[in-house]
Chains A and B, each alone.
Chain A
Amino acid sequence: MTVVERREIALVDLLDRLLAGGVVITGDITLRIADVDLVRIDLNALISSVNEQVPSPWEEP
């Protein structure tokens, strides 16, 4: 067995948490994007670009 610690956060790991975790607010607010999950996202687009570095316009902390 090998244990790997990833230093850079993979997008899939992030989406596991940001789209499936976190408090979901329901009620009379303007928006709720709680039902969005990977199924809604174009799989082909995701696969083709998942390995490319998506440059972030914001500085990393």
Chain B
Amino acid sequence: MTGLRYVYAICRPFSTPLQSQLTGVAGAPPKQLPHGDLVAIVSNVPEEDFSEEALRAHLEDLDWLSATARAHQSVIDALTVVTSPLPLRLATVFRDDSGVRMMMQEREEQFLQTLDRLEGRVEWGVKVYVENAGADAEEEQPEDSDKPLSGRDYLRRRRKQRTAHEDRWVHAEEFSRRLHGTLSEYAEDHRVHAPQNAALSGVSGANVLNAAYLVPRSESEAFVELVDRTKDDAPGIRVELTGPWAAYSFSGEPVGVPEGEGE
């Protein structure tokens, strides 16, 4: 068979078939590649797009990256329905099936351990935003705005605006800390991602918390309710929930580093 092998995830063997119309990153259907007690989910990808050099160029092309990421995700999503997959990093590509098998052989023990840890678990994403973090200062217009302000009044007003702005941030950070504390206590594990840049996410407000929580599937409903219940009289704060995801953020201890398996 020609082409390279793109690997999406490592799983325990599962009997439920994947959706028949499911396609992978280059349009080919994903298939199971069993080895020992594990199964790799792979699909064929053309060498001209997935060789190292081609990949580096492609990954800087947002349309390509986006389509590839979404295709990768749709395979992981389909797997999540039938098992608890251990997702691999985007664009993990091998020369051929035997390369994939060799990798599975070498890392079998760690894969099995991680799969045990993730069995029946899903990831939930929670983000906290401060709404209009920069714009709130504009709201306070003086009553009689046609009257010229004295220098002192001007400074006083500026100070007031700045204080209101800082208060909002302090409040949002406090809110995030509390929410994160509550959620991490409930979840089995958590990861804090870097806050998202508003220009990249295209959503309003400044992102103060961007965290992921590992939760047993059976506890998911309660977890979502917990997020909901943290309702608090907190004007200007928005909480966004995403998921359930496969446990992407919790499979990440670099398997290739022998002693690096942290918590």
Contacts and interface: CB of A to CB of B under 8 A. Distances in A.
Interface of A: 1-6, 9-27, 29-34, 36, 38, 40-43, 45-47, 49-51, 54, 56-61
A8 B234 CA distance: 26
Given A5-B242, A29-B99, 8 more contacts: A1-B231, A16-B193, A22-B88, A31-B55, A33-B89, A33-B91, A45-B61, A58-B67
Interface stretch (B21-29, B31-39, B135-143, B182-190): B21-29
24 contacts: A1-B232, A1-B233, A1-B239, A4-B238, A4-B239, A4-B240, A5-B242, A11-B69, A14-B70, A16-B125, A17-B248, A18-B72, A19-B90, A20-B193, A21-B89, A24-B252, A29-B99, A31-B50, A33-B55, A33-B91, A33-B93, A36-B91, A54-B70, A57-B67
A9 B88 CA distance: 19
Contacts of A36: 56, 59, 91
A59 B77 CA distance: 13
B92 A10 contact: no
Contact of A21 (B59, B78, B249): B249
Main secondary structure of the interface of B (DSSP, over half): mixed
B196 A23 contact: no
Interface string B72-103: 11100110000000111111111100010001
Contacts of B23: 58-59
- Among B50, B62, B91, B245, find the residue whose CB has the most chain A CB atoms closer than 10 A: B62
Contact of B239 (A3, A41, A56): A3
A6 B196 CA distance: 16
Interface stretch (B147-155, B160-168, B215-223, B254-262): B254-262
A8 B27 CA distance: 21
A49 B67 CA distance: 13
Interface residues of B, number: 80
Interface string B227-253: 110111110011111100100111110
A22 B89 contact: yes
- Among A6, A16, A38, A50, find the residue whose CB has the most chain B CB atoms closer than 10 A: A16
Given A9-B73, A56-B70, A60-B74, A32 B92 contact: yes
Interface string B183-206: 000000001010010011111000
A13 B125 contact: yes
A54 B89 contact: no
Nearest to B256: A26
A29 B103 contact: yes
Contacts of B255: 23-26
